[in-house]
Amino acid sequence: MNDLLRRYGLALTIVFAALTAFWLLALVILPDIYLFETSFRPYLSVSDIGGPKDFYSLNNYLTFFQSPIHIQIFLLTIVYSSVVTLLCFVIAYPLAYYLAKIARGNVVPTLFLLLLIPLWVSEVLRAFAWFIILALKGPLNFALVGIGIIDQPIRWLTGFRSIIIGLVYTYVLFMLFPVYNAIQSLDTNQIEAAEDLGSPWWRTHWRGILPHSKPGIASGAVMVFMLSAGSILVPTLLASTTSRWFTEIIQQWMFESQDWNTGSAYAFLLLLLCTFFVSVVMRLFRVKLSEIAR
């Protein structure tokens, strides 16, 4: 706050703080409070709302725990969101290291521009593009068969393969940028000193660069995992009959069944259980929330 006051003055600082508070209150806090309150009330007709049948209970939450299928879908969502997070790190870490320590200064802005161009396109259009690419007679199978890597087309749009591909493509940059910032802050002289002392490249990364990049990795992992678990467009467009995402269940409760009460309960369960899962992983890897927020 003191930095804002020195840079922009009192008037602009008040405007920025007021706009931020309005955004948080009107678009985040109040809708969440309304959904949270709704999740404890039963699904009733309009004439029964406010009557004797309208009371608070945990029945909407118990609906989830009484449905083995929904529990299985939730667990699969957590598992495959973790896989997406791991794949994003595998892709983003070497790229972030190249951009931060190897690429020349005049090339880095151009590379970042190339990476950001896909974000200019709507997520819906990008998901549709992957649907076309991964189709049985799509360009990916055509290229693989033409090169001779496979003998017959692969059904990519079965199981969770297509969802994983779409989510990795959509959210890999959310892993790249925090890791890039963390690696960029590392003094290059430390890397050169390790090489001069005979350290192999893998040990330099394992003992020097990765520990220094831990806050950026943790920040990117939390963002990618939460965004993947809460994604709705990519799973809806790229899923098959054998792969369902938990957000699709929430969407069905709210928009197909018109049961916003049970849908709200499912949405808060997703938020709470994902937050618990992230907290456990942070504790296992000994990462503090203050390190992620840096």
- 93 versus 154: the higher-pLDDT residue is 93
Q: Kindly give, in sequence order, each residue whose CB lies less than 8 Å from that of residue 124, ignoring residues fewer than 6 positions away.
A: 233, 237
Domain presence at residue 164: yes
Domain that holds residue 264: 69-292
95 in a structural domain: yes
pLDDT at residue 80, rounded to an integer: 92
- Does a structural domain hold residue 41? no
Closest Cα partner for 141 from 126, 156, 160?
156
Residue 48 DSSP class: G
pLDDT band at 168 (very low <50, low <70, confident <90, very high): very high
Vertex 115 angle, CA 112 and 120, to 5°: 110
Give the pLDDT confidence score for residue 205 in this predicted structure: 80
Of 216, 225, 227, nearest in space to 99 by CA:
216
Query: How many domains, in total, are found in the chain?
Result: 1
Q: Is 90's pLDDT higher than 90? A: yes
Indicate the average pLDDT of the chain.
84
CATH code where residue 127 lies:
1.10.3720.10
Residue 57 lies in a domain: no
**Domain assignment of residue 32, yes or no:** no
Predicted confidence (pLDDT) at residue 293 exceeds the cutoff of 60: no
In a domain? residue 249? yes
Would you say residue 4 lies in a domain?
no
Does the pLDDT value for residue 47 go beyond 80?
no
Per the domain annotation, does 200 fall within a domain? yes
Q: What values do phi and psi take at 186, rounded to 5? A: -80, 135
Give the pLDDT score at 120. 83
